[in-house]
Structure 1
Amino acid sequence: MNKRLTKISKYLTFVLRHEPESIGMRRDYEGYLDIEELVRNANAAGKSLTVEQVYQVVDEQEMQLFTLSDDRARIRAN
């Protein structure tokens, strides 16, 4: 994984595991966040993030840090 994706992975870990409230979000009852809303809120908070980058981080992760919902619309930390 390149440096940019590593930074995104660390940011996703922070948001998904510790502080979804930092970007105005709350996990659903299964611990998921909507990916499009996550990207929108992260960008509003000053991050530069795309849905495609989120998918790329998940697809290229060596350790299974994140799980996508079956419809690939939501993400959670493992």
Structure 2
Amino acid sequence: MNKRLRRISKYLTYILRHEPHSIGLKLDEEGYLPIDELVEKANASGKTITADLIQQVLTRQDPPLFALSDDGTRIRARTL
């Protein structure tokens, strides 16, 4: 994983595990955030993230740290 994707992965970990409210989001009852809202709020807070970059992070992680919902529209941190 390249440096940019690693930074995005760390940011996703921070948001999904610790501080979703820091960018104005709240996890749903299953611990998911909508990807489109995550991208929108992250960009509004000064990050440059796209759904494609999130997908790249997901496909390059070993072991996987994040999981997508069945419909692929939401993301959450995996339990380790």
Q: Same fold (TM over 0.5)?
A: yes
Question: TM-score band, normalised by the shorter chain?
Answer: over 0.9
Q: Which runs of 5+ in 1 are unaligned?
A: none
CA distance in 2, matches of 1:74, 1:55: 11
CA distance in 2, matches of 1:23, 1:31: 16
SS in 1 for 2:75: strand
SS in 2 for 1:67: strand
CA RMSD of aligned residues (A): 0.5
TM-score, length-normalised on structure 2? Answer: 0.96
Q: Which runs of 5+ in 2 are unaligned?
A: none
Query: 1:49 Cα shift?
Result: 0.4
Q: Map 1:30-69 onto structure 2 (within 5 A).
A: 30-69=30-69
Identity of aligned residues (%): 60
Query: 1:64 Cα shift?
Result: 1.5
Q: Could you report, residue by residue, the CA deviation over 1:27-62 in whole angstroms, capped at 9, with x for unpaired residues?
A: 000000000000000000000000100011011111
Runs of 4+ in 1 over 2 A off after TM superposition: none
How many correspondences in the alignment?
A: 78
